[in-house]
Amino acid sequence: MPQPVRLGTPAELSAYTHVDPELNETLFVLPKPKYDLGHPEETILKIRKNWSSLSPPDPDPAVTETKSTYTTRDGVSQRIQIFRPASAGPDERLPVMVWYHGGGMCIGSPEMETIKCRQWCLDHRLLVLAPAYRLAPEHKFPVGRDDCWDAFRHVVRHASALHGDLSRGLLLGGESAGATVASTIALQARDDISLQSQGVKVTGVFLSAGSYINPLSPPPEYIPYYLSKTNPTCLAAPFLSGDTVTLFAHCYAAEETSPFHRASLWPKGLEELPKTYLQACGMDVNRDDGIVYAEMLAKAGVEARLDVYEGCPHCFWFLLGETRMGRRWARETKEGLGWLLGRR
């Protein structure tokens, strides 16, 4: 089961950066991209081109995959990737999960979430919907984030037509930048009067390796614990280095003081959020966002659970899923989603 929230000591947090022995050899032979921070827009386009060369996974006959669309507030059509167990009957309505992909709001797509979404769909008999959203630098903050809210509202309005049943569960989540977005969507959904009038409530939130705190001004009581953003090992780690953070931040141009970007700043507080499952990676610059935000949720009376992957870099499971820690992540993710759904 997911672990109860425990902040730990600053020394314990720093020890999370000690690289996992099994990952050690692999991590340090991986190519280390050097980004041209002097030309960030061109650099993002090159990264996207490299990502586009990845082959999609083969079809899985156990999962029915379809596409739908939603319309943003300014009239732009965006796609939604939909995952449903192939064994589900034509009239069967399933619990719903909305999942936002990562990529610093600059790269990525719902298609890159295919393997995970298929697995969760089968593990928990879920309808999983992964929306696309517009990316920076072409579309700076808050465009992508607003698209994510519009996608969520679309799913709520059309849940039955999409073969979902919100009364059986409505989960919301994301990975990396997707988790950053999902954390604020959960708060907006809690406070939205029109959703309240319809009796619609998010029943669980899954936040994996996101960032929820203004790094320029963390809450004073948590400053001794907010270490990963300046930790040299985290800043040099693969998958999300300090240079990568700088690149994404420049292109997305989000306002660090906006509660629509940093959930911990939400003006109405964190109380009465649905139960929340968080994940943090030990060698990740975002690590202490997850750990501190989990503590803030627990102090606000939110039922929260946290799993920390000691000695592992940001979202390591994407390339290192067959390692011991990768298998642990898969097992604990399954358990965490089961906990959000009220299953043991």
Separation CA 180–CA 168 (nearest Å)? 25
Please indicate, yes or no, if residue 1 is contained in any of the structural domains: no
Query: Of 4-18, 170-184, 200-214, 222-236, where does mean pLDDT reach its minimum?
Result: 4-18
Please indicate, yes or no, if residue 4 is contained in any of the structural domains: no
Where does residue 66 rank: exposed (0-12), middle (13-18), buried (19+ CB within 10 A)? exposed
Please indicate, yes or no, if residue 3 is contained in any of the structural domains: no
Please indicate, yes or no, if residue 35 is contained in any of the structural domains: yes
pTM for the predicted model, two decimal places: 0.96
pLDDT of residue 1: 62
Separation CA 123–CA 119 (nearest Å)? 6
Please indicate, yes or no, if residue 244 is contained in any of the structural domains: yes
Determine how β-strand 170-175 pairs with β-strand 275-281: unpaired
Please indicate, yes or no, if residue 329 is contained in any of the structural domains: yes
- Total domains in the chain come to 1
What single-letter amino acid sits at 220? Answer: P
Neighbouring C-beta atoms of residue 314, cutoff 10 Å: 25
Separation CA 148–CA 135 (nearest Å)? 11
Instruction: Choose between 119 and 322: higher pLDDT.
Output: 119
Please state the rounded mean pLDDT for residues 296-322. Answer: 96
3 pLDDT exceeds 70? no
Please indicate, yes or no, if residue 40 is contained in any of the structural domains: yes
pLDDT of residue 34: 76
Please indicate, yes or no, if residue 66 is contained in any of the structural domains: yes
What pLDDT, in 10s, does the model give residues 43-92?
999 999 888 877 889 999 999 999 999 999 999 999 999 999 999 999 99
Separation CA 35–CA 44 (nearest Å)? 9
Please state the rounded mean pLDDT for residues 209-238. Answer: 96
| CATH, residue 195 | 3.40.50.1820
Q: Which domain holds residue 16?
A: 10-340
Query: Of 54-68, 100-114, 209-223, where does mean pLDDT reach its minimum?
Result: 54-68
Instruction: Report residue 160 CA to chain centroid gap.
Output: 25
Q: What is the DSSP letter of 172?
A: E
Separation CA 156–CA 149 (nearest Å)? 11
Range list of β-strands (E), the chain:
63-71, 77-85, 96-100, 127-131, 170-175, 204-208, 275-281, 304-309
pLDDT of residue 27: 76
Query: Of 2-11, 56-65, 213-222, 264-273, where does mean pLDDT reach its minimum?
Result: 2-11
